[in-house]
Every structure is written in C-alpha cells, then in structure tokens.
Amino acid sequence: MPVWRYMELCLMHPLYGYYISRDPLGREGDFTTAPEVSQMFGELLGLWAASVWKQMGEPQLRLIEIGPGRGTMMSDALRALRILPSLHQSLSAHLVEVNPVLRTRQEAALSTSTVREITWHDNIDTVPNGPCIIFANEYFDVLPIHQMVKLETGWHERVVDVDGDDKLVFGTAAEPARGFDFLVPPLVRAAPVGAVFEWRPDAEVIKLAMRLRDQGGAALLIDYGHLRSDAGDTLQAIARHSFADPLEAPGQTDLTAHVDFQALSRAAEAVGARVHGPVTQGLFLKRLGIETRAAALTQKTTEEVTAGVMGELRRLTDTGRRGMGSMFKVLGISDPQLKSLAGLG
C-alpha cells in the first residue's frame, strides 16, 4: 500500500489507530509539545489572539483549536484573555478532537473556565460560521504524506510491502506516477536518482484559508518543518521520546513527517487568503515578549522556580539540538483585510 495509506491506518484506524484511544503526551507518553513545556506558550498565543481580534474590529469571536492535546494551550490562552473582559466574556471556544481519551483530559483542563461556551467537534466543518481565530499546533505533521522516489524511469510512489519473512518493508510502485513530473517544485526537479520527495494534499489548509477569506479572522500554524519545498525523507516514528522504526509496531508509535511551509503558503494564497511569515518559533515568541514574561514569572521567587522557568524559555526558543526555536516554524494565514499579524512581520 502507498506510504500515505499506511500512515493513515496507523494513526487513525477506528480500532487500532495511534491517535484514537490514547493520551500520547507527557513524560509517561511518547512526546511533549510546546504547551506542555510551559504556560508561557499558551499565554502568549492568547494575547496574540487578542491583538488580532482588535484588528478585526472586535467581533463576536470563535476561538478554535485543531488537535488540542490535553487542553493545556487553550486553558492557558483563555486565562491570559481575562485581561480583556469584553472578549473573554463574549467569545466561544471550539476544540476539534476525535480522541475520547484526550477529550476527557481537555474537559478537565477547561472545567474552571468562565468562557460562556466550550464545544467539541470531530472536524472544523461543524464549528459555527463567523469570524474566528484558529490555532493548529503540531497538527499538520501527522497528516499522511505521499512519498515519491526518483528512479531512472521517473517518480514512483513509495509503498509499504511484505517481504519473504512476513516483515514490512519499503518499496516502490512498479510504474511511474503519470504526470507527476509537472507537479514537482523546480528545486526538486534536479534531484538525483534515489531522492525522495514528500507532499501532502492541500485540502486541509485550503479549507482553513477559504473559511478565513470568506468569514474573517486568522490562523496560526505551528509545526516542525522546512521553509521551502525540497527533496528529503523525513518520515519518522516516535515512541517513549525516542526515534523508532516506522514499520516496527504499526499503530503503537507516533508517525510524523516534516511540514512543507512553502507548500502551505502556496495553497493558502492560491485561494485568496493572505499569508504571514513563516518565521521560526524562537523569533515569533521573542517578538511576542516571552523573555519579558519569563522575567515576570521569576520575580520574587525561589532559585528552583527561576531555573525551571528559564529552562522552559530555552526549550521553546533555543536553536540548538535540544531547543524548539529553529526547528519549529510559525505561519499565519488570514483574510486579505488583515495586513500584518503580531510576531510575523
């Protein structure tokens, strides 16, 4: 089967899919996301939403998060928004989540919120129409990818097959993909034989972009990936915070691949939305004032708390191997009326 179908089944199979029936986050899980690293992340995104709402003319707002994890980021964002009572008391929060285990965690995290309405959805299509702000943190990296391998005869779809020992192995489709050469970005056309090119269908980002174009608002897409379309095999499996074999335990490990931010930008612009950025996560958070927020959190506190906060700051913004500052990128998409968005230049 094609790699995209293998990835889809491993992650979203209704009975055995990785994201259907477990909480994969935290120290006891397989990976940690930025909102779980520090409260500062969600707080700054909440304040970012407030600045966008002001630019929008202060409408009735739907605050939407796609793939909200344990609800930590939404909880922190809503807490930060209390500084604007007129917004906090009038907005409705919408969480797009299919995992019942995580929905329970989200309900607990938001149980003390004073927002007038919090609603869960299986997909964004059921969120009521109207002006909105959308967060998607580490969402696009788990959407299934097509992997194409360049051979002497052209670009062939990469597949998952079974060898003579009944083990899963990678292979390539026998016939080249018809017409695919015309879809390959210019930078990739000169790739050598054996190169791998990954692409995702544009449907998800187009859906968001068209909603923003027609109904007003902005979205923040935060993920790890590359700024321009290029060749490279980035499919990976994560288990217990370590890399694993993507074919070793289907449905038991997290499968992801890097996000092509140039492809996201092209798709959003093609349907008439405005694109802002992308910029690195470290630069984005520093522009929003994360260093000032860290300083405020460490005033009149213990050395242990101070060390913890500063460690969180480094984890979110540093560009080294253990930091998220440069690997993660931030892309803004908005309706054309919003000329600029905070933190994105």
- Whole-number percent of the chain with pLDDT over 90: 81
Confidence of residue 323 (pLDDT cuts 50, 70, 90): confident
Q: What is the average pLDDT across 133-160? A: 96
Calculate mean pLDDT across residues 298-314.
93
- Model pLDDT, residue 286: 97
| Tens-place pLDDT, residues 327-342 | 999 999 999 999 999 9
What is the value of pTM for the model shown?
Answer: 0.93
| pLDDT tens track for 235-270 | 999 887 788 999 998 989 989 999 999 999 999 999
DSSP states along 275-322: EEEEEEHHHHHHHHTHHHHHHHHTTT--HHHHHHHHHHHHHHH--STT
Domain at 3-145+200-334, CATH class: alpha beta
Instruction: Look at residue 26 in the predicted model and tell me its pLDDT.
Output: 59
pLDDT tier for residue 23 given thresholds of 50, 70 and 90: confident
Helix (H, G, I), strand (E, B) or coil at 94: strand
All CATH 3.40.50.150 domain ranges in the chain, comma separated: 3-145+200-334
Q: Return the closest-CA partner of residue 81 out of 42, 127, 119.
A: 42
Chain mean pLDDT for the chain = 93
